[in-house]
Amino acid sequence: MRQSRIALWAAAALLVSGGLTGAAPAQAVPRAEGAGYVALGDSYSAGVGAGGYLDSSGNCLRSSHSYPALWAAEHAPSSFSFTACDGARAGDVLTGQLGPLSARTALVTLTVGGSDAGFGRVMTVCVLLGSSACRTAVADANAYMDETLPRDLDRLYTAIADRAPAAHVVVLGYPYLYKLDGICTAGLADSDRAAIDDAVDHLDSVIHRRATRHGFTFADVRGAFADHEICSVSPWMRSVNLLAPNESYHPTPLGQSHGYLPVLTTAA
């Protein structure tokens, strides 16, 4: 979910004075091991927030610590194509990332929908403009999820199935951003954090319904991130990041390796 760099720096300035203060992967052999793997999607798939960005990925910020790269390193598929990109919406994946798919592709993974729903704008508004504006932004995002996102996901999922008819497609969801009643002593009110987490539930529900309708596997990561959200004692999600604002509200390396990767390993 891409953030506005200027707005996030402003948000960081507001928050900095107060501050914000696993289970082992399944051992079963994945059905796609040894075959072609294509990793599509947005910043959560690219690994924004996890560091170790590949020079070849440019502004897409694909990370060697992302769950696709970690899964490929562990399972040695016959080919690995990593086209996920920071800020990608469903339409961007449809028009710019599907090139590696073919009849020989055995596994496809993706997260997409967060940028479409405007979670970057939601977080900027909530941090900068207060509770009333925050609730309006959340309501707008929920309306988009109901009215527009299902159609865009259907188009994308249909194209994936057409181009890779033999592939096992795993659509991963998004974790909650906040642990409610956590250790944070500054920043958003817990009621605003709850509204944001409810919007994540809404997004995951929409994605789940569309993915299963197309015969894809939906992989829910909310349980894997439990007690590791922002405001938890050991967060796997970044809050506002002063040094790299676009990494804000994204999984850390542990979020990728301990949150997303085990869920993918089980689903694949």
The three state secondary structure string of 15-52 is: HCCCCCCCCCCCCCCCCCCCCEEEECCCHHHHCCCCCC
Q: CB of 162 within 8 A of CB of 103? A: no
Q: Is 132 a catalytic residue?
A: no
Active-site residue, selected from the candidate residues 45, 250, 257, 258: 250
Q: CB of 195 within 8 A of CB of 138? A: yes
Instruction: Tell me which residue of 171, 263, 265 sits closest to 216, measured CA to CA.
Output: 171
Q: Is 208 a catalytic residue?
A: no
Active-site residue, selected from the candidate residues 43, 45, 63, 81: 43
- Amino acid type, 48: V
Which residues are 230's β-sheet partners?
A: 178
Instruction: Provide the annotated active-site residues.
Output: 43, 250
